[in-house]
Chains A and B, each alone.
Chain A
Amino acid sequence: MPVILEARGLCKAFGAVTAASEVSAAIEKDSVVGLIGTNGAGKTTFINMITGYLKPDRGTISYEGRDITQLAPRDITRLGICRSFQIPQLYGSLSVYENMMVGIGIVLRNAGLAGYWSRANPPVPGFARPAPEVAEHLLQRFGLAADRGRNAQVLPGGARKLLDIALTMVAKPRVLLLDEPTSGVSAGEKFGIMQMVLEAARAEGATVLFVEHDMEVVSRFAQRVLAFYDGRVIADAPPQAALADPEVKRYVVGSARA
């Protein structure tokens, strides 16, 4: 499988704290990669560097052979690398449907299909359907159709997570980074949510990286695991092998919250 995203020797320090130290990883196209590690191990820093929120002190990130290390988050998004958030980042005063429409509006705008005065309803790139239908399609896919009229602010935790992820899908991501998609979700819902998200992501043709603390979820859904400890990648292998690694057992699995 060709490599779609590659990090080489990423280093990042916040004062005396090393958040990333020589982090390298090559992500293959169409794979599902789980990122594990204790809190503060450097998983979110890794995602933040890939999506441009943090600039690494050293090292490079390339996407489809193009260096994206210095790009701003919005430019990286436009290239097709989208992310969800550990704490859902929604438009709280808007309804679920309007949340989607804002996102689709940005996609249309970036494609040059929506100007300052245009109220036309052109097909959304990648979906070949007009905006309202795309919104409905994605809400359906993420089981949010019944909530379309509700304010994003008052949604229950699981639905907030799903909307957060559904929002990333409007831009047809080639690479999708999910920061703890199941945190704050009840144990019973976890597998259902992961199933739904991965099915949706795969159906839209996205390569997925997800941060996860629940090793059961990781071993069931990831094809490959990157284990972080103290800003370093201590294992990079298929789930069985990675979770059996003595260092991973000692530093990650042993202390992970179940």
Chain B
Amino acid sequence: MKHDRTTTIIIAAFVLLVVLGKLLPQWAMFIMTVAFARGLVVLGLLLLLRAGLVSFGQALFYCIGAYAAGGLGRFFGISDIFLEMLVGGALAGVTAFVLGFLLARYRGIFFGLLSLALSMILYGLLVKTEALGSTDGFNILPSTLFGWRPDAEWVRYAVLVSAAAVAAFAAMLVHRYLQTPLGRLAPAIKDNEIRVEYMGASARRAVHVKYVIAATLAGIGGALAATAVGHIDPEMAYWTTSGEFIFIAILAGTGNVVAPFVGAALYGAIHTMAYDLSPNTWQMSLGIALLALIVFLPEGVWSLTGKFRARHS
């Protein structure tokens, strides 16, 4: 596999994190792990956004992934991080494959609201399901790694490195996918679907595939978030959770597969600081940040790299 700049950056960042990660304070490890989890969801969103589709319902798959991970522990006593992510991603992907037959027919606001409605259906179901703790949700078993049960000092680091490994792998796969003829179809679908059809490709099928990939990533992210936080509840499927992902996508920009993770980390930082400074009005700080971003960096934080490059060449 030919190494281009993005791949090099991803690998370098991963190595750096493995080496220096243990020096981070516990709270920072936690914030970064959650950022990787959210970043995975947003990576999927990036695929859809490039094809011109805004999903207001990625929380559906995020929540499925989380409950799959939780269910493994609650019903089977399994707490392996990678197994949780595998099952979470697979379950989300299968769900998206089925729902995709319906959703891939729609575009624009119809696609957005339909995906939102589906996530709210799951929310409604979970709230009513006693066996899954209804509105309270339930706790997740402490994470294990291929049979290894890290002690309290190591567990956050182990989870962080696992998260980083999966995120790096996913980012490289998506990066590669975007360079294939099928991946390149995304902007074409956004620009002109009629032309895509008249050149002999099925836009609906391409959208379906992207929807499944995005859902799988969201499912993995959900499983990761569940094991990092140690608790899950139906809020994970609520529309505000989907809103967070879109917020991050706008914050990050869709220019590069690394952007979602940078955006998610930045979001985590803004969120934590806003909560710290004004616990009762943190949403307002977040809102102001978003407004400022739309005004000053409409292409997202990632567009800064292009500006930087332009200035230095």
* Residue positions of A touching B, CB distance < 8 A: 51, 72-75, 77-78, 82-83, 89-94, 98, 101-110, 114-119, 167-168, 170-171
Q: List chain A residues, Cβ under 8 A from B195.
A: 89-91, 167
Interface size, chain B (Cβ < 8 Å): 24
Contact B198 A73 (CB under 8 A): yes
Cα distance A56–B137 in the bound complex, in angstroms: 56
Cα distance A69–B188 in the bound complex, in angstroms: 27
Could you give, for residues 276-298 of chain B, a 1 whenever the CB lies within 8 Å of some chain A CB and a 0 otherwise? 00000000000000000000000
Cα distance A110–B182 in the bound complex, in angstroms: 11
Cα distance A209–B181 in the bound complex, in angstroms: 30
Known: A89-B192, A90-B191, A94-B191. A73 touches B197 (CB 8 A): yes
Known: A102-B184, A105-B185, A167-B195. A93 touches B190 (CB 8 A): yes
Known: A89-B192, A89-B194, A93-B191. A118 touches B180 (CB 8 A): yes
Of the A-B pairs whose beta carbons lie under 8 Å apart in the complex, a sample of 14, sorted by A's number, is: A72-B197, A74-B202, A77-B197, A78-B200, A82-B198, A89-B194, A91-B187, A91-B191, A91-B195, A94-B187, A94-B191, A116-B180, A117-B176, A117-B177
Contact B180 A114 (CB under 8 A): yes
Cα distance A43–B182 in the bound complex, in angstroms: 34
* Residue positions of B touching A, CB distance < 8 A: 2, 176-177, 179-182, 184-185, 187-188, 190-192, 194-202, 209
Q: List chain A residues, Cβ under 8 A from B200.
A: 74-75, 77-78, 106-107, 110, 171
Residue of B nearest to A109 (CB): B181
Q: List chain A residues, Cβ under 8 A from B184.
A: 98, 101-102, 105
Complex partner residue of B198 from A89, A101, A102, A119, CB under 8 angstroms: A89
Contact A74 B198 (CB under 8 A): yes
Q: List chain A residues, Cβ under 8 A from B199.
A: 74, 77, 82, 102-103, 106-107, 167-168, 170-171
Q: List chain A residues, Cβ under 8 A from B188.
A: 91, 94, 102
Known: A73-B198, A94-B187, A170-B199. A119 touches B192 (CB 8 A): no
Contact A114 B176 (CB under 8 A): no
Q: List chain A residues, Cβ under 8 A from B177.
A: 116-117
Contact B180 A92 (CB under 8 A): no
Q: List chain B residues, Cβ under 8 A from A105.
A: 180-182, 184-185
Cα distance A51–B194 in the bound complex, in angstroms: 12
Complex partner residue of B187 from A83, A93, A104, CB under 8 angstroms: A93
Contact B185 A106 (CB under 8 A): yes
Complex partner residue of B197 from A74, A90, A93, CB under 8 angstroms: A74
Q: List chain A residues, Cβ under 8 A from B194.
A: 89
Cα distance A91–B197 in the bound complex, in angstroms: 13
Cα distance A92–B197 in the bound complex, in angstroms: 16
Q: List chain B residues, Cβ under 8 A from A98.
A: 184
Cα distance A256–B86 in the bound complex, in angstroms: 66
Contact A83 B191 (CB under 8 A): no
Most buried by A among B184, B190, B196, B200: B200
Most buried by A among B182, B202, B209: B182
Known: A90-B191, A170-B199. A116 touches B182 (CB 8 A): yes
Closest Cβ of chain B to A169, distance in Å, is 11
